[in-house]
Chain A
Amino acid sequence: MDALSLSAGTTLDMALIGISVLLGAGVAAAFAARARYGARTIYVACLITTAAMLAASLSFLIVGGATESRHLPIGLPWIGMHFDLDLLAAMFLVIVNLGGVSASLYGIGADAEEREPTRVVPFFATFLGAMNMVVLAADAFTYLISWEFMSLSSWALVMAHHRDADNRRAGYLYLVMASFGTLSLLLAFGLFAGPSGGYAFADMRALHLEPLRAGVVFVLVLIGCGSKAGVVPLHAWLPLAHPAAPSHVSALMSGVMTKVAIYGLVRIVFDLLGPPPIWWSVVLLILGGVSALLGVLYALMEHDLKRLLAYHTIENIGIIVIGLGLALAFEAGGIGWAAALAFVAALFHVLNHSLFKSLLFYGAGAVYATTHERDMEHLGGLIHRMPVTAFAFLVGSVAISALPPLNGFVSEWLTFQAILVSPQLPEWGLKFLIPAVGAMLALSAALAAACFVKAYGATFLGRPRTSAAESAHDAHASVRVALLGLVVLCVAAGILPGYVIDAIAQITTRFVGADMPLQSTQGWLTIVPIDAARSSYNGFFVFLFVAFTAWAAALVIRRVATGAIRRAPPWDCGYVDSSPALQYTASSFAQPIRRVFGTWVFRARETVTMPKPGDTRAAHFAVVVRDVVWETLYVPIERLVTSVSTRADRIQFLTIRQYLGLMFVTLIGLLSLLALTQ
């Protein structure tokens, strides 16, 4: 029990105290949430706790602290709970607690609108605590307990507004998928450690599994973590469940919980399992590419703002998985420096996505809070009435569309750089696969930009389409603080990417066994992922040039020529359209892209019923978009389960003789199995 001898205030101890405070706050909230200011007090407590944990983990990450371990004698007797804090865990602690800080800020501002705070606040605090615990867990038992805590508390949050039938359906699907995921992880750990093995991560790390067993563990982990992260085809629950929760929880689920799932994947695949064979990377690359492309195409077909954001989570998880797949491929191929580059690209995108996805969900939440609309077809013109939210959402949209000079571009750029190293890999299959995945990544980046032009244009630009949009007002002050704080972080990570890369790059040494060049020594804030002759990017200069030239152009024209301006009715080619209904809607905006991609991906069909001249019936236009993954994968499984369970139903209505016979047959079967294996 040497681990129990508490040395002076280590970061891990602080984090563990923070987790117990959060879990305690969850319990307290069950009683306090209904009281006046009760919910707000709990949010403030969460804010302070997560801020402290953020500061602690950030300083640990920047200093590059040595791994800390703790063994607590709670949980299973004689086994207890193990917690480890290394650099990877610290990075994910930063992400979790950054999300915690901003979500708590949002919660403080939004709690006035929440009619049933007892259904939200207790689970919110528990959810934050559980996510922190997953990241720190260092044995299978602790990991699974924390994982289940995380799943169930988020499930309760999805069900917070359970009076809506859609939310109940989303909650049910989420529960089924979450149980399935946990089952896969349980099997994975069981198979990994074997009947006699230790379940502490340290023991598992020391094992060297035979290739087949390692492969099965890999697939099970991929199913377990992939279903939580939303990797296609295990994504079906995500676009339903994430938007169903209150908006700050949607942000946590999309921006942070999916990252905790990625953490699990990285921890087990890169850290615990031994050196990877090449086919693991092939699986990850294919799944990543398909997720990235399908996620954004689904999003383009969507006109529910929060659901659109949830589909983009699938896309971004795809981009992260591509990065991880490349890292595995390079590791297996023995090109360590390239593996380090791909790994950093993936982790950088993890950070970026958590920043801009939280930002976008808070924006969508602010819109929902004032208009009670999630359907973009009923919004419009909000830029005039919600200036701060509109500005923040614009920054988030540029960032998620991977456009310079913001942060989303940097991580995609790094991923492209990693792709360009791949011809050095000897395997022929990868030589075909990686360019195809690169093309998918390029397509998804371009489509994401199209999708966010649509989302931003339909929601914030144009003229208001309903009276709710017309009478909107800007978000609560603390929500605005959360939004603007994330704006600053998105810009900072975009124009000063070298510091972020250096912080992440320390992690790679242990996981892929190689380093990336140090960025802070490059000068002029340029990032050079491989070698200066090969590629470099300077977000700061790009930002400076664009800002300066734009400003200079405006100034010069005003000085030299004129700054006169006159307001007039819109020109619109002289066409007078008085109704806002005549503007382009989100669906009409996406129509060309639906025609190009949707006809074969979603079997989208448009039917126009045009009555004959003289006929007074209204003309009718309908679009059918089908979810191919749902129809080809989930519907057959559902049918199979239903038919098997209907048939198995008969077993419940047997006579006592038949039951005895059944037991006898089972006994004989088991005994003969025993005899055969002995």
Chain B
Amino acid sequence: MIRAATLQIGQALLVLVLAPALTGVARKIKSRLQQRQGPSLLQPYRDLWKLVHKEAVVAENASWLFRVAPYLIFGATWTAASLVPTFATGLPFSTAADLLAIVALLGSARFFLALAGLDVGTSFGGIGSSREVMIASLAEPALIIVAFTLALIAGSTQLSVIAAFMTSGDVGLRVSLGLALTALVIVAIAENARIPVDNPATHLELTMVHEAMVLEYSGRHLAVIEAASSLKLLLYVSLIAAVFVPWGHATPESAPAQYAIGIGSYVVKLAAGGALLAVFETTIAKMRVFRVPEFLGASLMLALLGALLMFVTRSL
């Protein structure tokens, strides 16, 4: 009992500590690919440290919601990220929220972020929120349908059970899994505001979405939101890793050495995820905002096709 709780808390702290590093890896590799030196891997940590020590400048007409929202977003995202299996399956709180609930928790975080963008009443905040919910209105259903496919394959919506099932070898190669993976990757790119949907590096550009919403934030509030964004990126990488690259997970019966292997392989998976993201972002150009629905619509259709295959055949 105590061991299980320690592991669960350890997982929560692990994701919190590793999240900025993942952002750092993606930035570093992207810079190298663009023939630049790039900031150090520790730069995201330094940024957060700097931001929390600054005084927060809050707009005069901001309401209490503006000040509470960052913490709620952080809380919801961190909770969701701690419940995705990282180095071990069968942790005690994995029963608290299944994949559908994790998707919905991210939805709660986005709901408050979009509201915060509207709170001060500036046009940039409005444009960001408006586009964010448009993107989410296609990305979230796609993710839920991917969850359908995975749930039907593994016979459970519980991520821990899905991850354990994926290692069991009863899975085999399935068309629906391929479709689900493609849909999931597209959703992950869109939800984390990466190229080609959004550009995390821009400011002062009309195409920005996420950055426009958080434009009014500064100091500790911005730090908390940035931390939540890196946690969200880490969550998606962990999710893809847990389902599609499930090797190395420890189980409740494992020896301590297996946990070390689990953590080691998780770190490797994260680094690989960050590298792939950087390569992908470097090779593709940003899309116009109104081409994004087509991109996400494709993801929705792929997800639905995968789910239909599972509903109809239960074996493909």
Contacts and interface: CB of A to CB of B under 8 A. Distances in A.
Interface of A: 380-381, 383-384, 390, 394, 398, 401-404, 409, 413, 416-417, 419-420, 422-423, 428, 431-432, 434-436, 438-439, 442-443, 445-447, 449-450, 452-454, 456-458, 461-463, 526, 532-538, 541-542, 545-551, 553-554, 557, 560-573, 575, 577, 580, 582-584, 588-593, 595-596
Contacts of A549: 74-75, 78-79
B121 interface: yes
Contacts of A447: 137
Interface stretch (B108-116, B245-253, B254-262, B270-278): B108-116
Nearest to B72: A550
A404 to B, nearest CB: 5
A428 B308 CA distance: 11
A121 to B, nearest CB: 36
A383 B126 CA distance: 17
Contacts of B134: 450, 592-593, 596
Contacts, number: 292
Given A546-B75, A566-B58, A589 B130 contact: yes
A571 B215 contact: yes
B168 interface: no
A467 B134 CA distance: 31
B215 to A, nearest CB: 6
B122 to A, nearest CB: 4
Nearest to A590: B130
B21 interface: no
B115 A417 contact: no
B152 interface: yes
Main secondary structure, interface of B, reads helix
Interface stretch (B25-33, B37-45, B139-147): B139-147
B166 interface: no
Contacts of B204: 573
B57 A568 contact: yes
A432 B308 contact: yes
A570 B156 contact: no
Contacts of B119: 383, 457, 461-462
Nearest to B66: A461
**Candidate in B76, B152, B310 with the most chain A CB atoms within 10 angstroms:** B76
A564 B141 CA distance: 40
A570 B60 contact: yes
Contacts of B155: 533-534
Given A447-B137, A550-B74, A567 B115 contact: no
Contacts of B63: 383-384, 390, 461
B157 A535 contact: yes
Contacts of B126: 457, 462, 583-584, 588-589
Nearest to A593: B134
B95 A538 contact: yes
Contacts of B97: 404, 537-538, 541-542
Given A439-B304, A453-B111, A584-B123, A566 B96 contact: no
Contacts of B218: 571
A591 to B, nearest CB: 7
A571 B123 CA distance: 11
Contacts of A442: 140-141, 144-145
Contacts of B133: 449-450, 453-454, 589, 593
Nearest to A526: B95
Given A546-B76, A562-B55, A584-B130, A446 B136 contact: yes
A438 B145 contact: yes
Contacts of B240: none
Main secondary structure, interface of A, reads helix
A403 to B, nearest CB: 4
Contacts of B300: 439
Contacts of A590: 130
Interface string B43-62: 00000000011111111110
A589 B312 CA distance: 39
Contact of B148 (A398, A438, A550, A588): A438
A417 B79 CA distance: 22
A570 B108 contact: no
8 contacts: A409-B104, A431-B312, A450-B137, A454-B133, A561-B53, A580-B121, A592-B130, A593-B137
Interface of B: 52-61, 63-65, 71-72, 74-76, 78-79, 82, 93, 95-98, 100-101, 104-105, 107-108, 110-111, 114-115, 118-127, 129-131, 133-134, 136-141, 144-145, 148, 151-152, 155-158, 161, 203-204, 215-216, 218-220, 223-224, 289-290, 293, 300, 304, 307-308, 310-312, 314
A569 B122 CA distance: 11
A542 B293 CA distance: 31
Contact of B115 (A380, A453, A547): A453
B55 A449 contact: no
A542 B148 CA distance: 22
Nearest to A453: B114
B58 A568 contact: yes
A547 B140 contact: no
B54 A562 contact: yes
A572 B125 CA distance: 8
Contact of A456 (B59, B115, B120, B156): B115
Given A449-B111, A450-B133, A571-B59, A402 B104 contact: yes
A124 to B, nearest CB: 34
A394 B65 contact: yes
Contacts of A557: 52, 220, 223-224
Given A413-B101, A461-B119, A533-B161, A547 B141 contact: no
Given A404-B105, A583-B122, A570 B56 contact: no
Contacts of B111: 398, 401, 403, 449, 452-453
A569 B60 contact: yes
Contacts of A428: 312
Contacts of B293: 595-596
A593 B130 CA distance: 8
The 7 closest A-B pairs by CB, nearest first: A584-B126, A462-B121, A550-B75, A457-B118, A564-B55, A450-B133, A442-B141
Contacts of A453: 111, 114-115, 118, 129, 133
A550 to B, nearest CB: 3
A404 B108 contact: yes
A616 to B, nearest CB: 26
A562 B52 contact: yes
B89 to A, nearest CB: 12
A434 B311 contact: yes
A535 B100 CA distance: 10
A547 B79 CA distance: 10
A646 B124 CA distance: 57
B98 A432 contact: no
B157 A534 contact: yes
B84 to A, nearest CB: 14
Nearest to A406: B108
B61 A463 contact: yes
B280 to A, nearest CB: 24
Contact of A535 (B98, B220, B304): B98
Given A534-B158, A562-B53, 19 more contacts: A398-B111, A403-B108, A420-B148, A423-B310, A423-B314, A442-B145, A446-B138, A453-B118, A454-B133, A462-B121, A533-B156, A536-B98, A542-B79, A546-B76, A546-B108, A548-B75, A566-B55, A567-B60, A572-B123
